[in-house]
Chain A
């Protein structure tokens, strides 16, 4: 039987009939639930040595090949409050006249992202189970509503069946004892025998069950509560079921919390919806002439909210990297995702995640780990590129926020990691090129990887900027010189002129080697390539590495398309080349939201591996906002550069309430009557400096319709054969600067957004 899958959250909509059972994910910061849309909890989790860190078994070290590595095989679904699992599964059934209807095959599944509805219909009964997680507490509600649509009364039993599984997470280092389960005052109480004072689960509803039954199945404790219900014709019954997980203060705390929350299910659901609406649809808003991208923008924001985790005090606040299996704290995934979090003003979680990684980096002499278990242990201490990528991400955070305290905290760790640890630990032959795995962890490549050296060099540029921001001009000069030298070396040693490509690795004799990996886009993503080489290289990549779904992993060898290379290539295209193609690649990433589970950004395009993957929505948002609007913030200087790169097939695009330091600005681009770009200073303190860099034809004239032309500085620039008019100006709150480009002339005006809604000339 086909199931109707509906996606319905504000303007985010979707609908499809599915012949197969798909997964869903709902979460709060401290607990999540993963199940299938039928109402089942299939075995999930497929970790095993060899793919633990994404590389073939032959090259995985002994430390990465522990006997117990597969202990979470089939365990990753259910209800988790990291670092412990709480519930393996639960479901309901209705018994009437000795016949039992098991509610495990929903007719309709509605995903509201903040909550989900399972709808079951049979014999005049309509049952809706609404699951949601309280946002900041380890609490899951299942609100059950039963409607009797018959013309007569119905007397039946509702059964609530739960399988307990209190289990420490993968490599958490925590013990796993037998689960003890007992009945208390209408509820079931479960705790772990090895940690009774810490780990517990309490579940039930307000009403006491008519009967309770405790058992064991497949080595796990089961509980069955039965409630008698008498419903008149057309009447409905409502029962809120609640699960409280506790992994710090044991079951007394869980009981206390259960008693506080059990009567508030409806209100807490409304609070949850309001929280999601505020996080997703308020704050930074986007619109464009392609409604698909407008919806994809809000869907991406929602995905980031759903992936936000708080596993304090074990590993702190961070973002799950992939659902269901990669919920650990990852260095690379976080670093790639920071720019996307910044453009939508999710600064708090970005900062917490960066500081969390910094605390590990501090202990590891500047090395940023690849993967940290939810129990807080370092599983994989990091490849060559995580440490540089961290510095790049930290600088990105600072560029948007101007948060000097943050920079002062992380700068020493960044400098130690990039300038000391990476060369000392990975530069085997003292050529400044790190030796070892980078983002691509495949056998057969040379030991020095292109992505590693590009991110390393970019990180040194960032360190130069950090040093300048902190007032150390001499350090800045040193770092800049080193980065420039490395950039020259990359272009001397790695560029293969006859191929118009960079080598993806160097052999031991330093000869360039090409294995067709997607990392050939990284020199363009990171700005290492001179424009002429970038243009040639991108042309070849577009021709030979891109298929209908995006950028392939390895040309001629592996046609699978990951969102990550596709997003990296999109940013490279924005930097040097073709915004039309960049937006096409972004659209590829969004296509994952309409395959499989609706509304989730996946790891592979069109579908595969994680069905929610952090860097997919994050890189999409980075491309859509930073890329399309050409943004370069410098919050410490109250400055933003805007250089729009709107695809030719869009008539308009706008971003509202973009946050730069303490300022909020909105940017509007419209080409229905010429090319119009305006920047509105929405709110903030003091003056705000803006640079508007507009692509124009060579002989463009400029008209500044302002009282004092000194208020707006103007110059022309030519970069890689492309011509720009560049305006520099300061703005005050409620001002709007509008540039119109029509028939070879750019006209710039400053307008005052009057409080009564009228506009007046302020220039």
Chain B
């Protein structure tokens, strides 16, 4: 069975990523970026969660991270996010590297996402 990836569906580019991941034998589930996102990700129980938080407003988008990371079933699941390299993000990376946060400092293309996912999967093993 392929690596399970939950792609949080916030930006249109994520559909392109989902398609590409499927062609590379990842098991992909799309989760909406709304109140049900946590339930959706928990149902999937993915090996990696991927999100594009590069759309404004980033400060609000970052709030999804504690919601995911405080859930005991997801606390050690690697999280790949795309965002701008703001001081807030840099602090976040420093603090959360040990609990599996991988940041692509945007703009992010499909290749960048896939590289980060591969890194997250290999380091998680």
Q: Judge if B62 is at the interface, Cβ distance under 8 Å.
A: yes
Closest residue on chain B to residue A557 by CB atoms: B60
Using an 8 Å CB-CB cutoff, how does the interface string of A396-415 with B read, 1 for contact, 0 for none? 00000000000000000000
A46 in complex: contacting residue of B35, B62, B70, B86, CB < 8 Å: B70
Interface positions, chain B 56-99, Cβ under 8 Å from A, are 57, 59-60, 62-64, 66-67, 69-73, 75-76, 86-88, 91-92, 95-96, 99
Please give the distance in Å from A248's CB to the nearest CB on chain B. 31
Interchain CB contact (< 8 A) of B57 among A36, A49, A444, A561: A444
Hey, which bits of chain A sit against chain B, CB under 8 A? 19-23, 36, 42-44, 46, 48-51, 56-58, 70, 73, 77, 325, 442-444, 547-549, 552, 554, 557-561, 595, 604-610
Given the known interface contacts A444-B59, A560-B35, A604-B38, the answer about A49 and B69 at a Cβ–Cβ threshold of 8 Å is: no
Q: Does B29 contact A (CB under 8 A)?
A: no
CB pair B39–A56 under 8 Å, yes or no, is no
- The interface bits of chain B over 28-61 (1 if a CB of A lies within 8 angstroms of the residue's CB, else 0) are 0000011110110010010000000000010110
In which size bucket is the chain B interface? 20 to 34
Complex A-B: 30 CB contacts under 8 Å: A20-B42, A20-B45, A21-B73, A22-B72, A42-B72, A43-B76, A46-B70, A48-B96, A50-B88, A50-B91, A56-B88, A57-B88, A58-B86, A73-B99, A443-B59, A547-B34, A547-B35, A549-B35, A557-B57, A557-B60, A560-B35, A560-B63, A560-B67, A604-B67, A605-B35, A606-B36, A607-B38, A608-B38, A608-B70, A608-B71
How far is B38's CA from A559's CA once the two chains are assembled, in angstroms?
12
CA separation between A606 and B35, bound complex, in Å? 7
A-B contact count (CB 8 A): 87
Q: Across the interface, which residues of A come within 8 angstroms of B73, CB to CB?
A: 20-22
Partner of A50, one of B36, B57, B64, B95: B95
B42: chain A residues within 8 A (beta carbon): 20
Q: Please determine whether A49 and B35 come into contact, CB atoms closer than 8 angstroms.
A: no
Say whether, besides A558-B63, A605-B35, A606-B39, A58 and B88 are in contact (CB < 8 Å): yes
Residues of the B chain whose Cβ atoms lie less than 8 Å from the Cβ of A56: 59, 62, 88
- Taking a contact as CB atoms under 8 Å apart, the answer to whether B60 and A57 are in contact is no
- Known: A42-B75, A560-B34; 19 extra A-B contacts, CB below 8 A, are A19-B45, A20-B45, A21-B73, A44-B72, A46-B66, A46-B69, A48-B95, A51-B66, A56-B62, A56-B88, A442-B60, A443-B59, A558-B60, A560-B35, A561-B35, A604-B35, A604-B67, A605-B35, A607-B38
**Complex A-B, nearest 10 residue pairs according to Cβ-Cβ distance, in ascending order:** A559-B34, A48-B95, A57-B91, A57-B88, A42-B72, A558-B60, A608-B67, A608-B38, A20-B73, A549-B35
When C-beta atoms are compared, the residue in chain B nearest to A65 turns out to be: B91
A583 vs B76: C-alpha distance in the bound complex, in angstroms? 38
Chain A nearest CB, measured from B95 CB (Å)? 4
**Cα separation A560 to B63 with both chains bound (whole Å):** 9
Residue of A nearest to B36 (CB): A606
| B72–A49 touching, CB < 8 Å | no
Question: In the complex the two chains form, what is the Cα distance from A609 to B35 in whole Å?
Answer: 12
Kindly report which residue of chain B lies nearest to residue A55, judged by CB atoms. Answer: B59
User: A325 to B88, alpha carbons, bound, how many Å?
Assistant: 22
**In the complex, what residues of A have CB within 8 A of residue B86's CB?**
58
Most A CB atoms within 10 A — which of B33, B35, B57, B59? B35
Is A21 within 8 A of B72, CB to CB? yes
CA distance A468 to B73 in the complex (A): 54
Give CA–CA (A481, B62) in the complex, Å.
44
- Indicate whether A442 sits within 8 Å of B45 (C-beta atoms), given known contacts A547-B35, A559-B33: no
B72 touches A23 (CB 8 A): yes
Give chain A residues whose Cβ lies under 8 Å from the Cβ of B35.
547-549, 552, 559-561, 604-606
B57 near A57: Cβ-Cβ < 8 Å = no
Task: Tell me which residues across on chain A come within 8 A of B66, comparing CB atoms.
Answer: 46, 51, 609
Residues of chain B within 8 A (CB-CB) of A77 are 72
Contacts of A554 in B (CB 8 A): 60
Q: Which residues of B contact A46 (CB under 8 A)?
A: 66, 69-70, 75, 99
Partner of A325, one of B34, B63, B70: B70
